[in-house]
Amino acid sequence: MAGPKDKLADKMEFPPATPQPNIYPLSWESETKKMEEIWEAAQREYWDPEKLPWDTLDVSKYSWEERECIAYWWTLLSVFDASAPPVFASAMIKTYEAHEEDAVRKCFFSVTRDEHNHEQACRIAIQKLLEHDNVLTYEPKTEIGKKAQKNAHWLYYNGGRYWDGYKQAVPRYSLAVLFSSFLMGEIASSTIFHQMARGCEEPVFKEVFSKIGRDEGRHMAICMSLMERDYPGLAGEDRSTITKQIRAGYLFLSAILFEPPEDFWDLPKDFIPTQREIESIARKAGFFIPEYEAKKENWRNAILNLKGVLDKYDIPFPAIPEVGITGEEIRDVDMEDIIPVF
């Protein structure tokens, strides 16, 4: 960069082109009408987590076991939804550096804003249930609470590993590859949140899940619109990366949508038995969590929906034998080569 005593403006009428990638120069072209419509919907449907009817949540009617188990599920959700604001903020910055059209940048801003709402919903629920603002420093009241806290430590540890991987991956890959990663998360999450909205007994939880499900459906529409625009001309190396990415996305998202695979998540042997015990207690307290077979079927259907999208663009789909889906074998997943899906 030229120093104060070496001004280019003294030597030339116009400055040289700004080295890229860079957010400058700015412009506001908008060519994809669908993206403008999605942005307008995001503006109409915006909601404030603080204004939901939290006063209807009477935690005193639950035992401490039940409170700690329900709070654990919100903690599990926070590994994904409460980490999403910085994830999508990074993607939003990339849309500026890639000089994406104005509507695309606005849509990624809306996703970042929505995900911050989802993070705040996790925060409020956990604080109400535990009367504490940090699940790792909270002092458990019950034995299952102690087990849940141990699980939470391991969840956040793994989340930290994958955040490091995400930071390394974002600069390396095109937006088209990133869209495939985000789409997998949105297809799956919109399904589970609508189910939980129907199944939960607490009015405020029903409303939270309904609003999050609506948001995730809109995020899915963003990814679909961009894929329709960009995937017909997708490069061969990007197609191969997407195939690997879908397999990695399955392994990563299974922690919230199914159960975390032991070969991908670094977890103690008692993690899954503890989580199953926690979920059973939460269900009996009226907090809807799909049973094992229902989770498996939901995940399979979401993956098949994604396969239907990618098949249109001749992108090889990976085998996911855990839910009975055949395809291209991906023998190992290297964290340095994939984008964790939040």
Record the tokens describing residue 133, joined without a space: 């603002």
Q: Please report the pLDDT score of residue 100 as a whole number.
A: 96
Give yes or no for residue 33 having a pLDDT over 80.
yes
Give yes or no for residue 175 having a pLDDT over 90.
no
Give yes or no for residue 338 having a pLDDT over 70.
no
Mean pLDDT of 161-181: 82
Please write the tens of the pLDDT for every residue from 262-304: 878 999 999 999 999 999 999 999 999 999 999 999 888 888 8
Q: Which residue has the higher pLDDT, 55 or 248?
A: 55
Q: Which residue has the higher pLDDT, 332 or 248?
A: 248
Distances (CA, A) of 138 to 133, 141, 150, 287: 8, 9, 11, 22
Distances (CA, A) of 153 to 66, 80, 84, 99, 220: 19, 14, 19, 39, 30
Least confident of 4-8, 26-30, 39-43, 240-244: 4-8
Distance of CA 210 to the CA centre of its chain: 16
Residue 332 banded pLDDT, cuts 50, 70, 90: low
- Angle in degrees, CA 198, 298, 204, rounded to 5: 25
Q: Please report the pLDDT score of residue 21 as a whole number.
A: 94
Mean pLDDT of 12-18: 95
Q: Please report the pLDDT score of residue 334 as a whole number.
A: 60
Give yes or no for residue 319 having a pLDDT over 70.
yes
Percentage above 70 pLDDT, the chain: 95
Q: Please report the pLDDT score of residue 2 as a whole number.
A: 53
Contact by Cβ (8 Å): 246, 238: no
Percentage above 90 pLDDT, the chain: 58
Give yes or no for residue 242 having a pLDDT over 80.
yes
Q: Please report the pLDDT score of residue 140 as a whole number.
A: 98
Q: Please report the pLDDT score of residue 5 as a whole number.
A: 66
Neighbour-count burial of 146, counting CB atoms closer than 10 A to its CB (0-12 exposed, 13-18 middle, 19+ buried): middle
Please write the tens of the pLDDT for every residue from 190-221: 778 888 999 999 999 999 999 999 999 999 99
Mean pLDDT of the chain: 90
Q: Which residue has the higher pLDDT, 338 or 69?
A: 69
Q: What domains can be seen in the chain, in order of their start residue? A: 53-337 (1.20.1260.10)
Q: Please report the pLDDT score of residue 335 as a whole number.
A: 54
Q: What is the 3-state secondary structure (H, E, C) of the chain?
A: CCCCCCCHHHCCCCCCCCCCCCCCCCCCCCCCHHHHHHHHHHHHCCCCHHHCCHHHCCHHHCCHHHHHHHHHHHHHHHHHCCCHHHHHHHHHHHHHHCCCCHHHHHHHHHHHHHHHHHHHHHHHHHHHHHCCCCCCCCCCCCHHHHHHHHHHHHHHHHHHHHHHHHHHHHHHCCHHHHHHHHHHHHHHHHHHHHHHHHHCCCHHHHHHHHHHHHHHHHHHHHHHHHHHHHHHHCCHHHHHHHHHHHHHHHHHHHHHHCCCCCCCCCCCCCHHHHHHHHHHHHHHCCCCCCCHHHHHHHHHHHHHHHHHHHHCCCCCCECEHHHCECCECCCCCCHHHCCCCC
